[in-house]
Structure formats: structure tokens, C-alpha cells
A = this chain, B = another copy of it.
Amino acid sequence: MDIWTAIKNRRSIRNFTADPLEEKELRNLILKAGIWAPSGGNAQNWRFIVITDQKVLNKLKLVSPGLLGSPQTIIIICQDLVNALEKGGELGVKTLSLMDTAMAAQNIMLAAYAVGLGTCPIASFHPEAVQRIMGLPVHIYPQLLISVGFSKENPPTPRRDPNIIWFNSYEE
């Protein structure tokens, strides 16, 4: 699929069919798209935990107000914050790690769209509760969930405000 098509037509999907996804395809989204994002200082502190087990999905829903619909898969994108601190200091933990997560997520969501899957990024969830559910050590910090599944909807395109560009000087 053409890059411009994927960028323009990807929508956030919140209604999914009950069809399960193939492990190989989920792996490809991460290995052939997610980890090819840049990372601050090439840190690659991301950790991807793919949830397809319905019991775990149900637990995650309970602590994730932003998680709508019933996706067959959730990818939990975590960052190793000890690595992030070692490699990037405070900037690494508070800024780079979040941006690295987001850029990897965007790659995954574009690639998912290209193979016919719907996704939605979810930041409204309780990170410590997700750590508890998954038994994560304290330094493996969940920053973003991505729901993945076959779309059951065709959401409208939210209007984009084009008046957000300035050249060489800024005026309100």
C-alpha cells in the first residue's frame, strides 16, 4: 500500500469483529514496522507485550477507560525506564521514551492498516494496574496500548485544522 494512502486513510477503530489474529502477523507488525521507528540515541528501550488471551484482555479492559469495543488483541508498549535513564537521563525518561513509544506505535498502526487491520492507540489506562496484571517489574513501564483487530466500522474522517503552519516567524 502506498505510504500516503496509509497515512491519510488510517482511522482509529473502536468496533472489532470476533475474528482472531494470527500470531505471525502480529509479530510482523512489530518486527517489520514498530522497531524500525527511530529511537532517541538509538536506545530501543521498547518492550512489546502482545495480549490475545481473552482472560487477560478482560482484565486489561477493567483498568483502561480508554479501551472501547472488544479487540481480539492488545499490544502493550512498555519502556524499560532504567535503560531510558541510563541512556538518556531525565530527558530519556520523560520525553524520549514517550516519543519512541509513539513513533513505534504510529509505524505499527500504519502497517496494520496496510494489511487490513484496524487499530486504536489508548493512553487512558492505569499503568500500575497493568503492571500488576502482567506481573511486570517496576521499571518496565506501560506507556501506550494499541488495540488491534478486524474493523467492524467505517468511522468518518475527523476534520483536520490546516491553520497550524507558520514559516520563519510565529504570530497568533
**A residues near B, CB below 8 A?**
1-4, 6-8, 10, 12, 23, 27, 30-33, 35-38, 40, 42, 44, 46-53, 56, 91, 94-96, 98-103, 105-107, 109-111, 114, 121, 123-124, 134-137, 140, 143-144, 158, 160-162, 164-170, 172
Across the interface, A48 reaches (CB within 8 A) one of B48, B135, B144, B166, namely B166
In contact, B12 and A33 (Cβ under 8 angstroms) = no
Chain B positions within 8 Å of A164 at CB level: 30, 35, 44, 46-48
In contact, A3 and B110 (Cβ under 8 angstroms) = yes
Tell me the bound Cα distance from A135 to B168 in angstroms.
Answer: 11
In contact, A47 and B166 (Cβ under 8 angstroms) = yes
Among A1, A56, A107, A136, residue most surrounded by chain B Cβ atoms (within 10 Å): A107
In contact, A168 and B53 (Cβ under 8 angstroms) = yes
Chain B positions within 8 Å of A23 at CB level: 167
Chain B positions within 8 Å of A144 at CB level: 99
Across the interface, A101 reaches (CB within 8 A) one of B6, B99, B143, namely B99
In contact, A95 and B123 (Cβ under 8 angstroms) = yes
In contact, A168 and B51 (Cβ under 8 angstroms) = yes
In contact, B160 and A44 (Cβ under 8 angstroms) = yes
Given contacts A99-B101, A99-B144, A103-B102, contact A50 B169 (CB under 8 A): no
Chain B positions within 8 Å of A1 at CB level: 2-3
Given contacts A1-B2, A36-B7, A170-B140, contact A27 B165 (CB under 8 A): yes
Given contacts A31-B162, A137-B172, contact A2 B4 (CB under 8 A): no
